[in-house]
A and B are shown apart, each in its own frame.
Chain A
Amino acid sequence: MEVTGHSRRSALRQLIAAMGAVSLDWPAIVQAAHDAHVAVLSPADLSYTLLGPADAADVEALTSQIVPSDETPGAREAGVTWFIDRALGSFFAHWRESFTSGLAEFQAACRAFDPAGTSFAALSSERQIEFLRTVERTAFFDQARLLTICGMFSSPKYGGNRNGAGWKLIGFEDQHVFEPPFGYYDRDYPGFAVAEKTP
């Protein structure tokens, strides 16, 4: 449900009231989502709170290889790195430690792969892809991909999927009510014909 302005705030209040009882910290999560949403609305605030510049550059390069940018937006345009930075500092805080240590291992492996290179982000795209083939089965890569997916395709209120970039990419319509026909094949459906009673 899309809510804006006053109705959004009142929906948040209702949600906080209803969720107050759940011990998973929903009010804080909702607040984090709200802060992320507000920050996205004011681009000046788009600084990282958790990732340092070198780490942020590597994460941006990595997530951009997972969903690359071409004639259509990829992870970069969807704001995935910024989403990850926010997520690990709030609602995915329980993944922070494994992500941080996984990233350090990823960077160390990259240095071993290309001792001349300064960082993963500094490699050419071709070399990045070559290196990723050597680590694509690691738990860190899985986690980075999952975070990329969450940042690309979940509600823009969490700070990713900027301008609905992820949804537009795959043709998901963010609407609340649909009427048939829903697609090409149900347009001229003649109705269900009951079969003979002899299986």
Chain B
Amino acid sequence: MSARKFRDSDTVDFLVVGSGAAGGVIARELARAGLSVVVLEQGPRLAPADFEHDELKYWFMGGITANRQDNPQTFRHDASQVAAVPMVRNPLYYARGVGGTTLHYTANYWRFREVDFKERSLLGAISGTGFDDWPISYAELEPYYTKVDWDIGVSGLAGASPFEPPRTRPYPMPPVPVKSSGVLFERGARKLGWHPMPAPLAINSVAYGGRPACVNCGFCFGFGCEVMAKASTLTTVIPQAEATGNCEVRANSYVSRVEMDKRGRVTGAAYFDVDRREHFQRSRAVVVAANGGETPRLLLNSANSKFPHGLANSSGVVGKYLMWNLTARALGLFEHELNEHKSVQVTRILHDFYDSDPKRGFYGGGGLDSRIGPQPAVWAQRTAGDGPGWGKAYKERLREFPRSMQIGCHSTSLALESNNITIDPTVKDAWGVPAIRVTYRDHPDDLTSARFLQERGAEILDAAGALRVTKVPVSESSLAFHLLGTCRMGNDPAKSVVDKHHRSHDIPNLFVCDGSSFVTSGRGQPTMTIQALAFRAGEHIAAFARKNEI
């Protein structure tokens, strides 16, 4: 069936803002439930064949991301500073286009574990932070994690880790072939008595879901997948949503405001089309799934007389508690070539230090993974920052590319009110919409946790026989890949934006579901949980619609 088209004047059942990890899933679930859906996506709709191995374009000219020229964001560490637009990249790194950030992500698909949802109860309050339990448990989310495994397509090995949370089904695909970095990681970790395991990835190890197996090209991180082996919503749930005949995905449709009527209900959204003409799409309900940066920006920019501080923001927490998983790196140089630029980013991971342990004296924990550095140009840029930055010594470092690997140490971020998304008072984007201002400073425990994990990473490299191990100094971060926590879910309307079903506490027909819903940060790799939440939200929201409760 060809995708349905709606007119702005049609009052559709649902308007979904964003077509990424969450928006794509929710659109499919609602459309399959027989509801009419329009998805408004700010970026273009690219075909897989449009994706190129072009580092300059994708990493230095903005490529498919919200680039600093058209979609500037400003950054500061704290409120005493004046935020500025960085020279090369925006502080929030996400993709624009049908598929959202699933276009260019690495596709690490870790489930959260039971502990992630109830750490506050287990560990107690942490003063000065918004550390809290989630209003849902792992057990409530497990069926939806399994749905992600099978509906999106995750490769991995069930039972590989003694730390794995309960699962009701195995993975639908075996793990992808191990890389040299994975072999060394596994060897080093086993020597230390730890428990490495194959990385779960939303990348096909065999043909699955009508998409081919990975060809090991190596261009996952920051690039679109032209063979469709990496599961983007562009090539999975979105065509399925359109195939119902109930869903239109409208690309180049940039939402600037969600509007509300006198009864306190949202009526649809104003957006710019490809020619920057303004439109208004009417709908019975709105689902905002624009990511943890764009979602709070939209709500804050949609302030009105009833909600002067931002739509659905009677709590004042819209935009607050931004978390992005501080990551540390340990670099290893080996005698022989690894050729890490080939194949997927990560093939082995380790969760032995996942839980926060009060005996360590700080809050935090995380996961380690064996990974490629990035591709040549970004690698050369990083290498300049990690050691001698020019001259003969730099050139020698550059030539270590094939014999190098890194261990990514993905840590927790504590929820802090002072880390947030606000609207920049002066900067506007190319459409004239007030820009995102990011204020962020890692909590001291985040830094301590990242350094602790980095020590473990260095130990693995050492045990694996590295000729040289480098611990890249961990300092305050200013670039985010995971955008979490900015419209947190909770049972208390005074302290959270949405309830456990992703309905906003303030407005009955406004739903929010994406990374912004997170209460805690997990240990990196949030997309699996974003999509599990989205499948669950889609089911609940469709049920509300059927019962006329939207």
Contact = CB atoms under 8 A, between A and B. Distances in A.
A45 interface: no
A189 B183 CA distance: 7
Interface residues of B, number: 75
Contacts of B207: none
Contact of A70 (B50, B157, B379, B392): B392
Interface string B338-352: 111111000000001
B192 interface: no
B398 A169 contact: yes
A69 B319 CA distance: 50
A184 B163 CA distance: 30
Nearest to A177: B215
A23 interface: yes
Contacts, number: 188
Contacts of B44: 18-19, 21-22
B391 A66 contact: yes
A166 B389 CA distance: 16
A91 B179 contact: no
Contacts of B377: 149-150, 152-154
B338 A170 contact: no
Contact of B183 (A24, A67, A186): A186
Interface in B388-417: 389-392, 394-395, 398-399, 401-402
Given A68-B391, A192-B178, A178 B56 contact: no
B78 interface: no
A155 interface: yes
Contacts of A22: 43-44, 70
A136 interface: yes
Contact of B352 (A150, A177, A194, A199): A199
A153 B399 CA distance: 12
B54 A154 contact: yes
Task: Give the dominant DSSP class at A's interface.
Answer: loop
A196 B62 contact: no
B54 A195 contact: no
B399 to A, nearest CB: 6
Contact of B215 (A157, A172, A178): A178
B226 interface: yes
Contacts of A196: 162
A26 to B, nearest CB: 9
Nearest to A91: B61
Interface string B137-173: 0000000000000000000010111110000000000
B216 to A, nearest CB: 4
A96 B377 CA distance: 20
Contacts of B52: 1, 15
A182 B384 contact: no
Interface string B57-90: 1001110000101100000000000000001100
Interface in B446-474: none
Contacts of B333: none
A150 to B, nearest CB: 6
Contacts of A51: none
Nearest to A179: B216
Given A154-B55, A192-B178, A136 B380 contact: no
A178 B57 CA distance: 23
B49 interface: yes
B73 to A, nearest CB: 15
B36 interface: no
Interface in B419-434: 430
B399 A178 contact: no
B252 interface: yes
Residue with the highest number of chain B CB atoms closer than 10 Å, among A178, A186, A189: A186
B176 to A, nearest CB: 9
Contact of B157 (A74, A136, A192, A198): A192
Contact of B55 (A153, A169, A171, A194): A153
21 contacts: A19-B44, A29-B61, A74-B395, A145-B389, A150-B56, A152-B380, A153-B380, A155-B55, A157-B54, A169-B398, A171-B337, A173-B341, A180-B179, A182-B339, A183-B402, A185-B338, A186-B179, A194-B159, A194-B160, A195-B160, A199-B352
- Pairs of residues from A and B, 8 with the lowest C-beta to C-beta distance, nearest first: A184-B336, A183-B180, A154-B56, A185-B180, A170-B401, A153-B376, A153-B377, A171-B402
Given A145-B384, A185-B336, 18 more contacts: A14-B49, A18-B50, A21-B251, A21-B274, A24-B69, A29-B61, A153-B380, A170-B379, A171-B337, A176-B53, A177-B216, A178-B216, A182-B177, A182-B339, A182-B340, A184-B338, A194-B160, A195-B161
